[in-house]
Structure 1
């Protein structure tokens, strides 16, 4: 059946698996993608959306490196919003509503057009390890596919158990069976494992809803897009979402089912996502609130199916139905399917290297929810990094690791490896200490050259980025070096209640004022002429404005990052014996011996390792 030894075998074809397979194949590695159902490649198991707070930055980073998530999001979007525009640009986060069926279809078609990539549909029930090295995988039919590296992206399928009220049944997703066998093999090899939980809301028939009783949630008036590639275009038409609310009556009705809820009767013992709680959890934890938001999101351009964001639940289906009918606009609601919770196996990510290769088995990589994360975007970024590093390992090249000051992806991986997670991890802007550097608008400047060097980002992508950067720098230079007289500038300043000037000054000084915008500066004839002559687009204008207005913050973060990188440069020997350092605390010795950080900087981020412990390490390293 399998007539060759593959460079990379990817198990699972969700967001992590798709990116892993595409990256490895595009880097020239012979790649095999094995999944339980080829019809569900790139399936959006939960909400029909990509991006959001910090997640949008991750999608743009994936795109800048040459991954597929951004392009596919653009090609299948039905609505675009830039979140947090009222805050500083470090907080701006793009998000799209997606056409669920088109998203999955486009992922499959994109992968089928990728050279070096083979497909096979079957459950993988085990791995083949020889002398501590991965050599292949075993399928449920007893076939063996041999590979030099293997990337496991099993999502919620490993021993998945679905809960609806007091009913339980095995499954990795609604209507799909769970995957068995791999967990036992990994634990037999010495891997530590645990259980986590996530949930999803009911899907309903939009024809049964009264949208006139809800608030309309339109997309942006001038929508942008995810991908930096000129191959995708912003939306010219969009579908509205809607907003409704729960009520005290809804809460009381939901409470009637608490005694049958697996959340409260002990059926579910694992931990769910803190930042995406179920509706019963919200009612229980926030008893003082008499209502919660429910976002009513269309599942595509043409389907009548809607996703009820904010109503994730595992309560009995009859309780879900009766309670939702108490919500404004849902009085006649018809269900497509009830919400449910799912428990699944994961492997604490402190067992991985920063490449996402396991420490116990050479050539074996984990990516996505198997590492304890939640979210399509987090999974996709891990898949991309695992696919890249699996290909590099086979090619006997140096690994690809992003630092915390280089990408949100770097923050995500470093958090997982050094801190681990005991609840489903999701990314937030607050997790990135260098978020002013890691904005969604400059991911191409940060990462496209790296993607090009890897063989993922095309030369055309690199040239587009270089032209954009050159134009942005030139525009900033224009403001820095061009003077403007008071009679031209003061009418603008007066209209914004800003202090007037008495003499000519470089344009950058008034433009640096918080209340003066690019639109204000474009009222100056020479500025508008420069924009026309140099054919500057919205991205360039936005980039120049950010560079000017936030120059001080950006420079400060760059300096802090340089200090961090000095510690990153201090390597710790691979098999260093921490028990030799008697001045280390017991907890530090234990944690450092288990996690085995590569640098002193990584060691400093491990929970339980104090500044004093780092000082001891630095003294030993001769610093």
Structure 2
């Protein structure tokens, strides 16, 4: 088939994390998909730090995996270190994170995509979109090709009119060594879209052979590392590489301040907003002037490279300032640079212009995913890409969109936040953004989402069988504990070791195991329990589910009850044609916001900033409730 004559079901513009997941999802759902990217060698490039996961982000990667996406598998196959963060807190806060081999990561993604049926590739730059009135019907490329499609997903990352800043130097580019993308923004603005500018940055990369690690604190991976994917095709790490921790100091800060007059952040050349929760080092010492030092994490880029990522030292200061300042950090006295840090400005489109399916409201069959929606982070981008890919494929099949609720997934929280509240600074996911985080744990993403994914045709039968088995064995183990009586002779030695009060009579193990000071492993000396575990092949994953149930069932049930109440409001739809101007009892601000966002349900309306509880009550009356 020729590109000139083929009409694709889905065209994905951009081959970053959003584009890669979008292409995989749509192709795996049977849609004939074309991935167009400026450089096929840079598919799923880790443009910033060589890591996946982290606080809330790890939960997203687990959800992507449960939905049949590739990010978790690729991360497991290319990991050089694994850590479960926040293990000292409750399970709602546990967040997996892995360092990856940057080069292997991109290579593995490319290989997996090439093995995906229904997926074609083309290297070129898209510089225009083709419309038929308010529908998109294809794209135009730099070489002058016009490629037709039923749906188009734009995942342009930081490339739309990208501008790189290093000190007083400015040049066009989407990231170091690659050109910017022009034309798409202009076509969309001409169609009535609102656009804006955002900023992000990246730290220097340095030669690890020039660092003195004896002056730093070693940060090894977990003693018993886990993995991201629920599938057995990936295995846990047998060997890991350490990261290292060091700190800036007052000398570092003074040297950095010397360049403030030449900083694009402070001299007015950068006017866009950067990420609040991942600020540049100059922003940190300016905003937190009382802090004597800031953490700098020294992260290896892979197994077989000496390149180091200097996490915590993101900067757009002039090269000479970067050079002087970084040498004042312990361990960096003789550092050799591979490349300097820089900031990048790029176009984005406020995401209130989208529906929950990530389809644009103005142009039918056009979807946005990733940094074009104002987000930051590989994980947030990949999640949007997967959802856009699923919904674009469903649109070509004339099926209803696939939408996750806030009570079902962090991905649901992410998308609902974006389209309901919008964002004026790069959006990053945190556990605090999810009101039902006890339900949305990293350990149960498969239980929450695999059945949904199987219905879409993404999750395999093997995945479904594993989840069904996990559910069944978890329930059987909980029932066994509820029935198993243990004597004081069995239990009191265990309680004494923990300095806990002894029992005077036999009790059900379920009740004793719920005590916060005890964990499941404490009871493995009980013969009946041990026999049950061996006879029924109860593995570590199931024991973790049982233990969480024992300790947190009260909290979990309460959150489920709250989620059910919210979902009742989700079931009160607002017609797309509803005229808010006729509802005189609404506040002026509420009317203005509701007209702009056009919520699909009372629940979504209640989450819009500026819509008060009394406004919601008025709407409920109008909806006959």
TM-score range, shorter chain: over 0.9
Give the corresponding residue for 2:216.
Answer: 214
- Does residue 196 (structure 1) correspond to residue 198 (structure 2)? The answer is yes
Corresponding residue to 2:592 among 584, 590, 593: 590
Q: Tell me the number of residue pairs that the alignment of Structure 1 and Structure 2 aligns.
A: 623
| Cα deviation 1:510-546 (Å, max 9, x = unaligned) | 1101101111122222222221111122111111100
Shift of 1:487: 1.2
Give the corresponding residue for 1:287.
Answer: 289
- Does residue 322 (structure 1) correspond to residue 313 (structure 2)? The answer is no
* Structure-1 separation of matches of 2:115 and 2:50: 24
Give the corresponding residue for 2:106.
Answer: 104
- Does residue 167 (structure 1) correspond to residue 169 (structure 2)? The answer is yes
Give the corresponding residue for 1:614.
Answer: 616
Shift of 1:141: 1.4
**Structure 1 counterpart SS, 2:225:** coil
* Structure-1 separation of matches of 2:92 and 2:568: 25
* Structure-2 separation of matches of 1:553 and 1:582: 41
Corresponding residue to 2:274 among 269, 272, 290: 272
* Structure-1 separation of matches of 2:74 and 2:237: 13
Give the corresponding residue for 1:505.
Answer: 507
Give the corresponding residue for 2:443.
Answer: 441
* Structure-2 separation of matches of 1:521 and 1:5: 62
* Structure-1 separation of matches of 2:328 and 2:163: 30
The alignment's C-alpha RMSD in Å is: 0.6
Shift of 1:45: 0.3
| Cα deviation 1:342-399 (Å, max 9, x = unaligned) | 0000000000000000000000000000000000000000000000000000000111
Give the corresponding residue for 2:386.
Answer: 384
* Structure-2 separation of matches of 1:364 and 1:220: 43
Give the corresponding residue for 1:134.
Answer: 136
| Segment drifting more, 499-508 vs 100-109 | 499-508
**Structure 2 counterpart SS, 1:33:** strand
Give the corresponding residue for 1:83.
Answer: 85
| Cα deviation 1:300-339 (Å, max 9, x = unaligned) | 0010000000000000011101111111111110000000
**Structure 2 counterpart SS, 1:97:** strand
Give the corresponding residue for 1:144.
Answer: 146
* Structure-2 separation of matches of 1:123 and 1:573: 39
Shift of 1:587: 0.6
**Structure 2 counterpart SS, 1:89:** coil
Give the corresponding residue for 2:40.
Answer: 38
Shift of 1:443: 0.2
Give the corresponding residue for 2:356.
Answer: 354
**Structure 1 counterpart SS, 2:92:** helix
* Structure-2 separation of matches of 1:289 and 1:64: 41
**Structure 2 counterpart SS, 1:563:** helix
Shift of 1:74: 0.2
| Cα deviation 1:578-618 (Å, max 9, x = unaligned) | 00100001111110011000000000000000000000000
- Does residue 402 (structure 1) correspond to residue 404 (structure 2)? The answer is yes
Corresponding residue to 2:30 among 15, 20, 28: 28
Give the corresponding residue for 2:377.
Answer: 375
* Structure-1 separation of matches of 2:322 and 2:267: 17
> Unpaired segments of 5 or more residues in structure 2?
none
* Structure-1 separation of matches of 2:235 and 2:539: 14
| Cα deviation 1:417-439 (Å, max 9, x = unaligned) | 00000000000000000000000
Give the corresponding residue for 2:419.
Answer: 417
Shift of 1:116: 0.2
Give the corresponding residue for 2:122.
Answer: 120
Give the corresponding residue for 2:232.
Answer: 230
- Does residue 336 (structure 1) correspond to residue 332 (structure 2)? The answer is no
Shift of 1:493: 1.0
Corresponding residue to 2:76 among 64, 74, 77: 74
| Segment drifting more, 475-484 vs 440-449 | 475-484
**Structure 2 counterpart SS, 1:151:** strand
| Cα deviation 1:133-174 (Å, max 9, x = unaligned) | 110000011111100000000000000000000110000000
| Cα deviation 1:451-487 (Å, max 9, x = unaligned) | 1100001001110111111111111111111111111
Corresponding residue to 2:261 among 252, 259, 265: 259
* Structure-2 separation of matches of 1:580 and 1:603: 17
* Structure-2 separation of matches of 1:574 and 1:536: 50
TM-score (norm 1): 1.00
TM-score (norm 2): 0.99
Give the corresponding residue for 1:52.
Answer: 54
* Structure-2 separation of matches of 1:225 and 1:321: 37
- Does residue 480 (structure 1) correspond to residue 468 (structure 2)? The answer is no
* Structure-2 separation of matches of 1:163 and 1:585: 44
* Structure-1 separation of matches of 2:511 and 2:223: 31
* Structure-2 separation of matches of 1:466 and 1:303: 42
Shift of 1:242: 0.4
* Structure-2 separation of matches of 1:377 and 1:575: 35
Shift of 1:131: 2.2
* Structure-2 separation of matches of 1:346 and 1:608: 23
Give the corresponding residue for 2:433.
Answer: 431
* Structure-2 separation of matches of 1:484 and 1:438: 33
**Structure 2 counterpart SS, 1:90:** coil
**Structure 1 counterpart SS, 2:403:** coil
> Unpaired segments of 5 or more residues in structure 1?
none
**Structure 2 counterpart SS, 1:91:** coil
* Structure-2 separation of matches of 1:575 and 1:190: 20
* Structure-1 separation of matches of 2:370 and 2:508: 50
| Segment drifting more, 75-84 vs 487-496 | 487-496
Give the corresponding residue for 1:563.
Answer: 565
| Cα deviation 1:170-216 (Å, max 9, x = unaligned) | 00000000000100110000000000000000000001011111100
* Structure-2 separation of matches of 1:64 and 1:524: 35
